[in-house]
Structure 1
């Protein structure tokens, strides 16, 4: 029987591409969403992928949601922590709420989700945890002190947990996308995209969600067991580590 993959924020943008790529690779996939019921319903109807609604900042909601997924589909063996938000502001104007909302979703959400499936992965002696970080967690970004801090934290979380999971055949890896042609990025004014953003990308274009999704499928595979604690940079050459 095929393995079960759970993708947070898995009904839109990069998350939707990941969910579909995993399904096409033969996994049984569940995708979570936080608020957009209409988009989630449309995604389910189009793809047949099961969708579940909960907030990754709520530890108990994560536990209840994962229990439902496992009752419906089976034990979660691949977890993709993709859910994320932005609340951009220059630091001198950033509010405590903007800071806490981003850190709670983009960093604490990884703990809330991963902690719930970790014991099961250890018991089964298999697991794949794939964390979607960001180029801005590697290099920082003006106006994103909250987002950059959280995404850098995702990388630290990945490296630490990989060391704990290795003996139990659980790999933990991160992917750092650059500028990807999602709805959020394409909402940036065309002039800004063409004059400020794309010229910084050596390949001369935005990335595509499917290109990030292929990285996830690679890391999720049974035969990727020797790769752990790693960070894949999918950014068109914009930033090297």
Structure 2
């Protein structure tokens, strides 16, 4: 349930509650006003008057809450998503579904670029971006800055590649007198895209080098975790051999 629906539902409930308590309070007040003069003020009349006062107070509070809520602007209506988008959002809540949707979008974009000059460079960009995502969890410290720069560069490159492909598709439709200028513009866009993909691949390679060097110990070729694992293995082997020797030399009962 969205906020706008919840707002109007609460407003209706407050109005209905205020009306009910107003009717009950009015009925009790009228009964107390009619019955009291006939028998004087006694204990039952005190209950009638107390009930009437309590219900009138409750009705007044309910009307106050209703007016305060009605004075608050209603939340904006929710954005209506296409029916298919709701299914996509539901699938993307799971890691496997998110990967599946990402792959489907990548394949759709790749299909739209089939036959274009930038198609091969686009495939290189896909491979480099996939590699960068695998390195993302290990880029810490100075590597985080490179990760942010890679994300910005990837977004710019994808926009540039799609723009170059669009200009290329428009070449056969352009008038002959404008085709030469459009071809020059397309060549410039495609060249810039290819050069950008090469620079992006170099950034990914540098990030991989950073991750590789960050995993090396300072003074030894072996990682401390590997050294501790080997030492623990040697200790367990020594204990097992010692127990075996004790069992062999144990005197017979």
Q: Fold match, TM over 0.5?
A: no
**Category of TM-score, reference length = shorter chain:** under 0.3
TM-score computed with the length of structure 2 as normaliser: 0.24
- The structure that is strand-richer by fraction is 1
Q: Who wins on radius of gyration, i.e. which is larger?
A: 2
Higher relative CO (Cα under 8 Å, sequence separation at least 6) belongs to 1
- The structure that is helix-richer by fraction is 2
